[in-house]
Amino acid sequence: MRTHEEGGPADLEERGWQALATEGAGAEFYREVLDDTVMMLLPGGLVLDGRAAIIEAMSGPPWSTYRIERLTEHHPTTDTGLVTYEVVARRGHGPEYAALIGSLYVRRPSGWRLTFHQQTPGRARAGDH
């Protein structure tokens, strides 16, 4: 298993999924990691703009299971980190959710902060990157 810098963008992304799979932990985690200026583009045309809207959205039911695949971390500059991956997740006995995800982090004096996140439903096919 590939390891990433503790507290770095990929580590925060993995910790975010852990929080979202733990009752009541999602909102608290994102309260700490979201940048002051943040936006999320989610399936179905849902746009979450601003910390308050995102923290509220992270208060929903936890994921029962999740699997992160093909996690990569890129640094276009020393103060930006782009994390991309596939996720397959499920809530309770509901349908499986699969998405391609991209998250952009910025380094602030207080540490890495999430400033942009996008989920595209579906999965890459074998051999795609």
For residue 3, being part of any structural domain is answered with no
**Would residue 99 count as lying in a domain?**
yes
CATH number for position 100: 3.10.450.50
* Backbone phi, psi, residue 25, to 5°: -90, -20
- pTM of the predicted structure, to 2 decimals: 0.89
> Which domain, by its residues, includes 39?
9-121
- The per-residue pLDDT for range 56-101, each reduced to its tens digit, is 999 889 999 999 999 999 999 999 999 999 999 999 999 999 999 9
CA dihedral 24, 101, 34, 23 (to 10 degrees): 0
Determine contact, residues 20/62, Cβ cutoff 8 Å: yes
Sorted by sequence, the CB contacts under 8 Å of residue 119 that are 6+ apart come out as 40, 41, 42, 43, 99, 100, 101
The answer to the question of residue 80 being in a domain is yes
Reading the block at residue 59, the tokens are 């208060």
Tell me how many domains the chain contains: 1
- Structural domain contains residue 2: no
Q: Give the amino acid at 105.
A: Y
pLDDT tens for 10-50 read 999 999 999 999 999 999 999 999 999 999 999 999 999 99
Return the H-helix or E-strand segment holding 16.
helix 9-20
CB 103, CB 11: distance < 8 Å: no
128 occurs within a structural domain:
no
Dig out the tokens for 62 from the structure.
Answer: 């936890």
